[in-house]
Amino acid sequence: MTILLSTVILVLLFVVLVYVAHASELAMVLNGEDKDTTKASRRNGYASLLFLIGFFVAVAWSCKEYLPALLPKSASLHGVETDRLYNEGMILMFLVFILTHIALFWFAYRYNESNNKVAYFYPHNNKLEAIWTIIPALVLVAMAVTGMRVWFDIFDVSKRDTKNMMVLEVTAKQFQWTVRYSGKDNAFGERIIDKEHVSPENELGINWKDAKSHDDFFADKIYLVKNKPVLVKLGAQDVLHSFFLPHFRVKLDCVPGLPTQFYFVPTLTTKEMQEYLSTQPWWQQVNPETGKQKWETFKYELACTEICGRSHYGMQKDVVVVEQKEYDEWMNKQDSYYKTVVQPTLVGNNNIPADKVQALN
């Protein structure tokens, strides 16, 4: 009913508008077209000026209101660098945006035909054009060079602190993340992707005969250690997914059949981040749903950023950054998947999983 009503109102509004518009057109013919277009130009000149001011006020207001709602400072080492690039770039671009818009709408006002009867024939000026070719070119090359340095820093293998590094394996599928830790031996059991090893019970194709797999465990949350570099080895089973840790400025696609990896160093524990946010006015606001201040429910999260099907938006996982001690305690509580799930199903000493035994029978 409301829909019908609003449609009727809308149609009526359109009809009225068309009539008004038609009438003003007739009036224009009566008044003489030249006079009328000059008047329209003057009106639009003022409107341009008004728009310029209104636009800047709206931009300033939204900056004041929403900049505090941006993600907090980076919780990873390289993120500080990319944030710096982003901020510097945005300030520069904001300046360009402001200056060109002042020129554009000011000119529209200042030189509209009611203010400036005769145009100035000025077809080109090579010096000016050279200036506005060379300056942007230099600035852009400078941005490319500084940006490239940061880019290579992030992906350059040779600079990695591999000794003290923690390795994590994350495999994505519709619509969940499987997180595998290598356990105490710091080595993953091998995976073999063939029909013998991959099964509904063993989607990753882990070779349980490989002893290194015996202390591997799957975690329902990603635990990381403060200041300990982590290498995430990424993969996907079915379709493309993308591993996104917004607070750590980490993003990389998970590709079926093609391993990818991302190296980063978390620098703030979850607690430290919460403490920092508790000092920020925006995060002190009370969330009406939970009755708590926003920083209290803050957590690091993992999200998928490559469209992967109907529940793409549901691929969430918690990420927790702790001190080494707390991490060790957590790790000691984790059960080896092999010992708790796989081994009990094995028959005899031949290490054949139960489902395969049934197949043999």
Partner 1 sequence: MQTVAHGDVHTQDTHHGDHGHHDHHEQSWLEKYVFSTDHKIVAKQFLITGMMWAIVGALLSVLFRIQLAWPDETFPFLETFLGKWAEGGKISNEFYNALITMHGTILIFFVLTGGLSGTFANLLIPYQIGSRDMASGFINMLSYWFFFIASMVMFSSFFIQTGPAAGGWTAYPPLNGLRDTAISKGSGLGFDLWALAMVLFIISSLLGGLNYISTTLNLRTKGMTMFKLPLTVWSFMLTAVIGLLAFPALLAGVALLEFDRLLGTSFYLNDIIINGNLLDYKGGSPILYQHLFWFLGHPEVYIIILPAMGIVSEVISVHSRKPIFGYRAMVMSLSTIVVISFLVWAHHMFVSGMNPNLGAVFMLFSLLIAVPSSIKTFNWLGTIWRGSLRLNSPMMFAIGFVSMFITGGVTGIILGSAAIDIQLHDTYFVIAHFHLVMGVAAFFGMFAGVYHWFPRFYGRYMNETLGMIHFWITLIGGYAIFFPMHFMNDIPRRYYSFANFETFNRFEDMMVFITVSAIIVFLAQLLFVVNFFYSIFKGRKVEGEVCNPWGSTTLEWTAPVERLHGNWPGELPTVYRWPYDYSVNGRDFIPQNEPLKPGEVEHQ
Give residues 114-173 in contact with partner 1 (rule: CB under 8 A).
Answer: 116-125, 128-129, 132-133, 136-137, 140-141, 143-144, 147-148, 150-152, 154-155, 173
By CB under 8 A, is residue 270 in contact with partner 1? no
CA dist 284 to 67, 179, 291, Å? 15, 33, 11
Question: Of 297, 292, 250, 291, whose CA–CA distance to 274 is shortest?
Answer: 297
Segment near partner 1 (CB under 8 A); pick from 177-185, 225-233, 268-276, 296-304: 296-304
Beta-strand pair 166-173/176-181: antiparallel
By CB under 8 A, is residue 190 in contact with partner 1? no
By CB under 8 A, is residue 113 in contact with partner 1? yes
- To partner 1, the closest distance from the beta carbon of 271 in angstroms equals 16
Show the CA angle centred on residue 234, arms to residues 230 and 237, nearest 5°: 155
Q: Are 246 and 71 in contact (CB under 8 A)?
A: yes
Cβ-based neighbours of 354, under 8 Å, separated by 6 or more: 345, 346, 347
What are the b/e assignments for 105-119, b being 16+ CB within 10 Å? beebbeebebeeeee
Closest CB to partner 1 among residues 94, 275 = 94
- To partner 1, the closest distance from the beta carbon of 18 in angstroms equals 6
By CB under 8 A, is residue 341 in contact with partner 1? no
Give all strands of the β-sheet with 317-322 in edge-to-edge order: 222-225, 317-322, 300-304, 241-245, 250-254
Taking CB under 8 A as the rule, which mask of x and - marks residues 25-54 in contact with partner 1?
A: x--xx-------x--xx-xxx-xx--x---
- To partner 1, the closest distance from the beta carbon of 263 in angstroms equals 11
- To partner 1, the closest distance from the beta carbon of 98 in angstroms equals 10
Question: Of 188, 290, 312, 186, whose CA–CA distance to 240 is shortest?
Answer: 312
3-state DSSP call for residue 69? helix
Q: Which residues, numbered 202-231, are part of the site for partner 1 (CB under 8 A)?
A: 202-203, 205
The residue from 244, 263, 295, 327 that contacts partner 1 (CB under 8 A) is: 244
Q: Are 151 and 132 in contact (CB under 8 A)?
A: no
Closest CB to partner 1 among residues 148, 211 = 148
Closest CB to partner 1 among residues 250, 342 = 250
By CB under 8 A, is residue 333 in contact with partner 1? no
